[in-house]
Chain A
Amino acid sequence: MITTIPDEVPSSTPEGGEVYSTGSAWRVLLRTFAKNRLAVFGIIVIVSVIIFSFIGPLLYHTNQFDPNLTSVNLAPGAGHPIGTDSSGFDILGRMMVGGRSSIEVGLGVGVISTVFGLIYGAVSGFFGKATDVIMMRFVDIGLAIPVVFLFIFMSQVYKPSLTLLIVLLAAVSWQVPARLVRGETLTLRTREFVQAVRTMGGRSGRIILRHIIPNTIGTIVVTVTFQVANAILTLAVLQYLGFGLPPTTPTWGSMLSNGTTYLQDGYWWEVYPALAIIVLTVVAFNFIGDALQDSFDVRLQER
């Protein structure tokens, strides 16, 4: 892993050995990432799920708005590849449409919570002292509020839309990235390059934006993927419990919630396809996060 000198050294090699190009840091990163089969699998799954949810409905037309009571609980067969649910909705079509909200919520919450947590953590860690103590207590408070309990409470009161749901979920998930970035900032701010900018008269805002934040990129990218996975899971749990988006909105979680009622009747197609796609999507994001963590870990990189 450390040595890059090949077994057979060609005769034309200059003394001291040939210098092999290892490419930029990003290419090293990409190479390490691409070597991880699970991560490649994750990427393929996510791209497929996005195509399935956003392009699928354009090719496979189903009516997901008006219940069709003449075709309820149909087993998989002609016309309905994986059957229909208790309202007569085609399950394959519903999984496609339902995927949109999961993906949108997942990515929305992942990006918003990480960006906010990143800025919050960087500011807190950079200024340190009293600022840090006060800002971090807000993070502690956020982490101590039981999310699912709070969420059920909120959605009982506000009947959230997709946007509100994203904002609320982001409001309870930014604390983890904030803590991680704050920890990194604490060490970064003592580094020479930060002191150099300071000596040259660089202002705090510039140091944070141009020197601290770019150096936490590894943590950020890894955090985003795990945040997306967690948001999709939390959404699925909330929908299953009957909170979150209105029950008429097609989502994977609400499909599971409806289907479970018929588990005793053996209508497996109303439960397991939706469950499988949730697990597959979340596993994919977790694989990618795990692989990225390894890619950014210099010790594991192949140079």
Chain B
Amino acid sequence: MIGFIVRRLGQAVVVTLGVVTITFLLLHALPGSLARDIIGNRATPQAVAAFNHEYGLDRPLWYQYWLFLDKLLHGNLGYSFVANRSVDSLVASELPRDLILGGLSLVFSLAIAVPVGIAQAVKRNGLIDYTGTGVSFLLYSMPQYAVALILIQLLAITFHVFPAEAPQSAGTLAMLEHPAGLVLPVASLTLVTFAAFSRYMRSSAIDALAQDYMRTARAKGLPEHQVLRKHLLRNSLIAVITLVGLSIPYIITGTLIIEQVFNFPGLGLEYFTATLRDDYPVMLGVTVLVGMITVVGNLIADVGYALLDPRIRY
């Protein structure tokens, strides 16, 4: 088991390094010069040279790569010249709000997907199953923003129930003081995430239903609701670990899109602003960060699954 975890950790390190390297090389494949972008087209060659020297841009590529890695190891994601602040401080102020949006949506979508998936598996090919499959198919086939657009049309424009814009408060906690504004973004992301979870939960519950321990539980005379709760639900929850770990990139992409639709202040929206201002350090830093979170998610999924399911031993 320890051997497996160590090997899996080693893989994660290699993959992270790969993601960082590719993103770094992409940044350096950019046409134009950073110095010209920052200090302007009319800067003298001396000023450009001084700028390049100050930020190490006149050094060989391998050395710059080394510097970049070194900074990254010390938790420094880079510095935005356009916003004149470090990417770290940007992440620190924006990430908590993403966690609210992503976290709440994750919890809600699991709270829907797990019972629905189990109900679908138990009443297979029944009305619940067909409805659930239909809804998840439809949601899954929509671009992520479409769910948000439909909710806005219904609940914000046609019936003025909830505002179409997220709360614009500066702080994270201040945002929670306007729960009405959070409803539509969270609901949209919940539906988008549910679409990804639903089919998986259904098939993992169907697999669990076919297991011998289910027959044993029934054979020893457990009432059906206890069979479902103690044996089916618990075993299906193992699948949730994998699901959550693997769907992290999907949720982050969803967050990016939902933030754009609702003007929800968060890292996704900052990424957006950065692209419009050609703020490459922010784009690079966020991309690397998301890549690392993805790797960690995969790691948690694999190791968590192995730890929770005693049948899996490496």
Residues of A within 8 A of B (CB): 137-138, 140-141, 143-150, 152-154, 156-157, 229, 233, 236-237, 240-241, 243, 253, 256, 260, 263-264, 266, 268, 271, 275, 278-279, 282-283, 286-287
Name the contact of A283 in the complex, choosing from B138, B291, B298 (C-beta under 8 A).
Answer: B138
Known: A141-B18, A149-B256. A278 touches B138 (CB 8 A): no
- CB pair B291 A145 closer than 8 Å: yes
A58 to chain B, nearest CB (A): 28
Count A-B pairs with CB separation below 8 Å: 113
User: Interface with A: B69-77, B139-147, B182-190, B204-212, which one?
Assistant: B139-147
Q: Which residues of chain A come closer than 8 Å to B144, judged between CB atoms?
A: 237
Question: Chain A contact residues: over half helix, strand or loop, or mixed?
Answer: helix
Known pairs A144-B19, A148-B256, A152-B283 / 7 extra A-B pairs, C-beta < 8 Å: A146-B249, A147-B249, A150-B26, A153-B275, A237-B144, A256-B145, A282-B141
The 6 A-B pairs with the shortest beta carbon distances in the complex, nearest first, are: A141-B18, A282-B141, A283-B141, A146-B290, A236-B143, A140-B15
- CB pair A153 B141 closer than 8 Å: no
Q: Does B11 contact A (CB under 8 A)?
A: yes
- CB pair B145 A240 closer than 8 Å: yes
- CB pair B271 A149 closer than 8 Å: yes
Known: A144-B295, A233-B141. A263 touches B15 (CB 8 A): no
Question: Chain B contact residues: over half helix, strand or loop, or mixed?
Answer: helix
- Bound together, the chains give a CA A157 to CA B28 distance in angstroms of 11
A160 to chain B, nearest CB (A): 14
Q: Which residue of B lies closest to A150 (CB)?
A: B287
Q: Which residue of B lies closest to A147 (CB)?
A: B253
Q: Which residue of B lies closest to A237 (CB)?
A: B143
Known: A145-B291, A229-B141, A286-B140. A153 touches B22 (CB 8 A): no
- CB pair A271 B149 closer than 8 Å: yes
> Mask for B82-126, Cβ within 8 A of A = 1, else 0?
000000000000000000000000000000000000000000000
- CB pair A237 B145 closer than 8 Å: yes
10 contacts between A and B (CB under 8 A): A140-B15, A141-B22, A144-B18, A149-B287, A153-B283, A157-B30, A237-B144, A241-B257, A263-B153, A279-B138
A233 to chain B, nearest CB (A): 6
Q: Which residue of A lies closest to B17 (CB)?
A: A141
Q: Which residues of chain B come closer than 8 Å to A282, judged between CB atoms?
A: 141-142
